[in-house]
Structure 1
Amino acid sequence: MIRTRLAFAAALCLTLPSASFGQSARDYLPREPGLRTDPAREVRPPEETAPPAAIRPAAGTGGLLLRGIALDGATAVSEAELAPLWAGLIGTRVGVPELEAVAAAIGAAYRARGYILSQAILPAQDVSGGMVHIRVIEGFVETVEVLAENSSVQATTEQIFAPIPADRPLRITTLERSVLLARDTFGAEVETVLEPAPVTFGAANLGVSAAVEPTSYFATVDNRGSRLYGAWTLGAGSRSYNLLGLDERIDTLIAVAPSDASMLFAAATLDKPLASLAGSVLDGGRLELHADFSRADPDLAKSGSPDGLSLVQDETNLHAGLIVPFIRTRSQNLFGRAGLGFQESRGITDFANVESEQTDRLWVLDARLTWDVADRFGGVTLVDATVRKGLDIGGATVGADGPAAGVPDFLLADLTLSRLQRLGNGGWAIYGEATGQIAADVLPTTERFSLGDSTIGRGFAPGNTSGDSGFGTRLELRREIAPERLRDAVQSAELYVYGDYGRAWDRSLARDGEQVETLASWGFGARIDVRPWLTLTPEVARQLEGTATDTTETGLETRFYIGAIARF
């Protein structure tokens, strides 16, 4: 969470509105409100697997008097766990159908525990003593054959799938992890096929087609920006895989306020797998390098500042970090992140042809855990926790003076909790989110908690309200329209109504004269996929509480938003 600092014209004895330019240009980027699935990080509920039922004796008195069942080859699941499946048959007379049903139930019990290739069979044997042996085949992958477009992709894919032959018996989570890590690296076109091994009984061979996904592009436009920049924002970006031949993924983004280019933001992120971490506790770890630059020149007169006052802000961020997928499956993910960032923010304030300049330089150590899980109740839960610590090294400094300026060696923690819950099978769902930040110090403006954007405080402009600490909540009721009701006019549509509330407070009253500020709004809108490549996001938002800082108008407003996202 990187936010551009607000330069105070202390030398001119001026106080700018607290949020007139309190956030980074990244907060003004066009984006969809709400939660949409990221194809690169599938979160699906686990497949429903009914537990095997205990086998009961059939009617009649014929057959073998069963004195016991012994399992041969069972190592992953103990016999004690499986014994209830046949306990009711002991001491009764059974036939081949009952014994085959026991074998089928044992195989189902293995698969319910994630051992997808395992099964149990009833072999030919002498059962005259009443003791029956059932053979458990704990299935595994004998070989992995990778077909890739070049040697680099081949080597990386083989390393990603190396844990699979070693996992005996094979668990579905091991297979899912390798598939998803490969798709994280090369895109969604990585495919797998399991086939029975021609020689080894109970084994399978895995074929992997590692095709690199072509570069994709997107363009966005919306009017969710602050009126200090003209409200409308244009954006464009791309994602490419293995463009440099380093097995890397590169994301780029650029955004601009088109009215007078008063806001510009450009960013690039590169991440690549670290082969040296394979097999360790950091297995699957990726190096991430990020850089962004922003320039902003807000029209402060629109917020009620004196005529002739201008503020031009340049910010540069550099960050290097490690991302580790501790858990990576279709239904659950746990990512850990740690990194070091450098930020330089330079602000030039001009009033009556008198300039003052401030420069902040911050070194920030950050650690983050993100956990998401899809459960059997039709919901997806997300927990996202971050700790950020400013370091007093390398010339770290905050250019402003006084108790409200913030300190370079700050400490803060962020926490976000959310859940998307399906309501029955009629297309209804409810989404809830709670987010908050607590700071141990007066923060540099880049690190402040903010409200007012396309998630919480949606009736207000981005960065409308900020504080050292704060919280925000929102609740959204969603209704997906059945495709047959759309009559091919659009591909899919989702309607929603929402309410949000947030509060931010400062540790120092000297920052802007208000220690606690509140925002609240409600509204309704739609997310309309006109075609697979085009999404429209109309919305109406009504302010319920708070003061808009991107206008001199008083009173609560109703705002009308429209956005479009095109994918290529």
Structure 2
Amino acid sequence: MAIAVSAIAAAILAAGGSIAQVPPPAELQPGISPDRVPPLAEPLPQPDVEVPAQPSPAVPPGAEGAVFLLAGLEVDGSTVYEPGVFRQYYEEYLQTEISLATLYGIATAIETRYREDGYILSRVIVPAQSVSDGIYRLQAIEGYVTQVLLEGEVGSVRGLVQSYLDKITRNRPVNIRDIERYLLLMNDLPGIRGNGVLRPAGAEIGAAELIVTATRDAFDGFVLADNRGSEFTGEQGVALGAATSSFTSFGERAELVLFSALDDKEQRVGQITYEQQIGSEGLTISGLASYGTSEPGGTLAPLDIEQETTLFSISASYPYVRTRRFNFGVEAGFDYVDQTSDLAGSPLFDDSLRVLWATAEADYRDSFGGANFGSIGVRAGLPILGASEDTDNNRSRVDGNADFVSLNAEAARLQRLTSNLNLLVSLGGQYGFGELLSSEEFEVGGLSFGRGYDPSELTGDSGAGSTVELQFNNRPGLSWLDSYQVYAFWDFGVVWNYDPLADKQDTLSSAGLGIRSNLTDWLSLDLEVAQPLTRELENRTEDRDSERYFFRVTGQF
């Protein structure tokens, strides 16, 4: 939990041999916060699929005058639907006289059903026929992609890209969801971007070729500077990142991120990540190694605190559903975490966690102009590989458990109000089944919830937060200002603790205004003013309830 400087000093001086029982502020623990480091590869627009227009079958001249008794109707060639599905389109005409034009209208209605269900290449025609019993036939031609032609230079990953795209030709009849899935999975490959165009494959009805034009960005990176830190860890910080993408046939990505507070030695972090594809259905395995050191400054500098954090993580993710409108995926992994802290050369605490975790997340774009996101996850600490034990006296929290279970969830909705105005509402929370070690606590303060406060201003075994943000977007297209977003926000956070030494419940709230701007296609500038509303900042020596001014400059290459 975040504790005021005076409380930390008093506890250390009074505790004597029991100082390891006082939890350190979570903000002091070195690590690269997702709030301070953008993704190296910015999300790009989803790939387009151009579908050729398919006119309805032309009604022959004189069709209105050709009248006959409809005793029944059969739809040949349909493998997608059960036979009774189409009855709704002609049932009202049974045992009545209809015109040939009406029969063409029934064929169009069934073809529309195919298209509405995603079978965009399928056709339904009225074939030539001689009928004596009043039972007429329609012919369903279930469309498919004969081949996928890949154009563009993508390097050594070409075989993997082609293996994704070839899956489209194996689905007969083809559905737009099949095309979307594999085009999107192709675009999920590191550095690969592409779009597709369908065109008729000769004179055969329902057959098409898919032409995919793809490119590869082999390198990308960023440099960032902001002042989102605290007095202890350094208010100003700089991050550098660089990555390579898809140099081999595995569709891999390797990233290096370095972060440093600008104040001497207050925080230094290095992180390496690697991921690659397994198979051609989007399964991805990832690995991460991170090492950070911190020597808190400000009023804590005389205490000579030194902290180290080492993290190794492996994970696997799989996209069960991947479409332009709806996505659902799962991820599971294992974290190996060691955190130590020394006070004037003497051990203060030593936490070792071995955490198995799993997450499921989904996003959905609805017909009301909204984009929705949700995730739910579980983390479980395991008593293996040297994890901290209940008998250890040097844990970050005296009753904190390395053998733990916690649940977490997030939800957000971005609602378009007008062409330029959006409303964002987000929620998040964690429930811990017992007292957690400090690195596993829920945190409020910083960019997620509590923007007017320092990172990890409050922490607890359980907690929740919410943000409401009204956004105005504009794209002037000037040489010095490509686009910008002006916003106003209000946020709230609450934490609960089992720790008898801590407050059972703490809350905070803040509000503010800001602007996010893309000055060019590679340079962005964000400015924000935030006002703490319900409590003073605990870890500030002055201006503890004044408005806060933040900036972030990001250059991407």
Q: TM-score range by the shorter chain?
A: 0.7 to 0.9
**TM-score normalised to the size of structure 1?**
0.85
Q: How does 1:377-392 map to 2 (within 5 A)?
A: 377-392=368-383
**Once the 2 structures are TM-superposed, how far is the Cα of residue 97 of structure 1 from its aligned partner?**
3.7
Secondary structure in 2 matching 1:383? strand
Residue equivalent to 2:3: none
1:567 aligns with 2:532: no
For residues 26 and 133 of structure 2, what CA distance do their matches in structure 1 show?
A: 88
What is the CA-CA distance between 1:488 and the residue it aligns to?
6.0
Is the aligned partner of 1:470 residue 2:463?
yes
Q: Does 1:524 align with 2:530?
A: no
Gaps of 5+ in 1: 1-5
Match of 2:540 among 543, 551, 566: 551
The TM-score normalised by the length of structure 2 is 0.87
Aligned length, in residue pairs = 533
Are the structure 2 counterparts of residues 103 and 240 from structure 1 closer, same or farther at C-alpha, using a change threshold of 3 Å?
Answer: farther
Counterparts of 1:431 and 1:43 in 2: how far apart (Å)?
25
- 1:252-280 alpha-carbon deviations (Å, 9 max, x no partner): 322111232421122122111112xx5xx
For residues 141 and 249 of structure 2, the distance between their equivalents in structure 1, rounded to whole angstroms, comes to 42
Distance 1:41 1:317 in 2: 33
Task: Find the aligned partners of 2:154 and 2:219 in 1 and give their Cα distance.
Answer: 17
Specify which of 297, 301, 306 is matched with residue 299 of structure 1.
297
> 433-442 or 398-407, which moves further after superposition?
398-407
Q: Does 1:335 align with 2:326?
A: no
In structure 2, how many angstroms separate the alpha carbons of the residues matched to 1:176 and 1:534?
31
Give the corresponding residue for 1:109: 113
Tell me if 1:252 matches 2:245.
no
Q: Which of the numbers 266, 284, 297 marks the counterpart of 2:282?
A: 284
Question: Counterpart in 1 of 2:4?
Answer: none
**1:138-217 map, 5 Å:** 138-146=142-150, 149=153, 152-198=156-202, 201-217=205-221
State how 1:227-376 maps to structure 2 within 5 Å: 227-243=231-247, 246-275=250-279, 283-301=281-299, 308-350=302-344, 355-376=346-367
Name the structure 2 match of 1:26. Answer: 32
What is the DSSP-based 3-state SS (H/G/I as helix, E as strand, rest coil) of the residue aligned with 2:350? strand
Structure-1 residue corresponding to 2:530: 541
TM-superposed deviation, 1:144: 3.3
Q: 1:439 & 1:461 partners in 2: Cα distance? A: 23
State the alpha-carbon separation in 2 of the partners of residues 81 and 108 from structure 1.
Answer: 13
SS at 1:546 equivalent? coil
Mapped to 1, the partners of 2:173 and 2:34 lie a distance apart of 50
Corresponding residue of 1:404: 398
Q: Provide, for residues 88-130 of structure 1, a one-character-per-residue CA deviation record: whole Å limited to 9, x for no partner.
A: 4445554444333332222221111011211112222235654
CA distance in 2, matches of 1:545, 1:256: 31
CA separation of 1:473 and 1:203: change in aligned 2, threshold 3 A: same
Check 1:28–1:314 CA distance in 2 against 1; reply closer, same or farther (3 A cut). Answer: farther
2:450 to 431, 438, 457: 457
Is this contact kept in 1: 2:350–2:395, CA < 8 A?
A: no
Question: What amino acid maps onto 2:103 in structure 1?
Answer: L
Question: What letter matches 2:535 in structure 1?
Answer: G
The aligned amino acid for 1:451 is V
2: CA distance, partners of 1:43 / 1:430:
26
1:18, distance to aligned residue in structure 2 (A): 5.6
Tell me what 1:121 maps to. Answer: 125
User: Could you tell me how far apart the structure 2 residues matched to 1:248 and 1:551 are?
Assistant: 44
Offset at 1:287? 1.0
Superposed displacement of residue 63, structure 1? 3.2
For residue 521 of structure 2, what is the amino acid of its counterpart? Answer: P
- Specify whether residues 237 and 11 from structure 1 end up closer, same or farther in structure 2 by C-alpha distance, changes over 3 A only: same
Matched residue type, 1:125: Q
Relative distance call for 1:199 and 1:497 in structure 2 (3 A) is: same
Give yes or no for contact 2:27–2:455 (8 Å, CA) kept in 1: no
SS at match of 1:358: strand
Letter in 1 for 2:293: R
Note if contact 2:495-2:506 (Cα within 8 Å) is conserved in structure 1: yes
For residue 175 of structure 1, give the secondary structure of its aligned residue in structure 2.
helix
Percent of aligned positions that are identical: 28
Distance of aligned partners of 1:28 and 1:85 in 2 relative to their CA distance in 1, 3 Å threshold? closer
CA distance in 1: counterparts of 2:445 and 2:437, whole angstroms: 19
The answer on whether the counterparts of 2:445 and 2:457 sit within 8 Å (CA) in structure 1 is yes
Amino acid at match of 2:320: F
Question: Does 317-326 or 76-85 show the bigger shift?
Answer: 76-85
Secondary structure of the residue aligned to 2:377 is: strand
Distance in 2 (alpha carbons) for counterparts of 1:499 and 1:343: 34
Q: Are 2:408 and 1:414 aligned?
A: yes
Instruction: Tell me the residue number matched to 1:3.
Output: none
Name the SS for the 2:533 alignment partner: strand
Distance 1:224 1:43 in 2: 35
**Structure 2 CA distance, aligned partners of 1:232 and 1:498?**
23
Helix, strand or coil for the counterpart of 1:133? strand
2:180–2:322 CA contact under 8 A, matched in 1: yes
Q: Contact 2:348–2:394 at 8 Å: present in 1 too?
A: no
Code of the aligned partner of 1:527? R
Q: Note the C-alpha offset of 1:416.
A: 0.8
Candidates 440, 446, 454, aligned match of 1:447: 440
SS in 2 for 1:325: strand
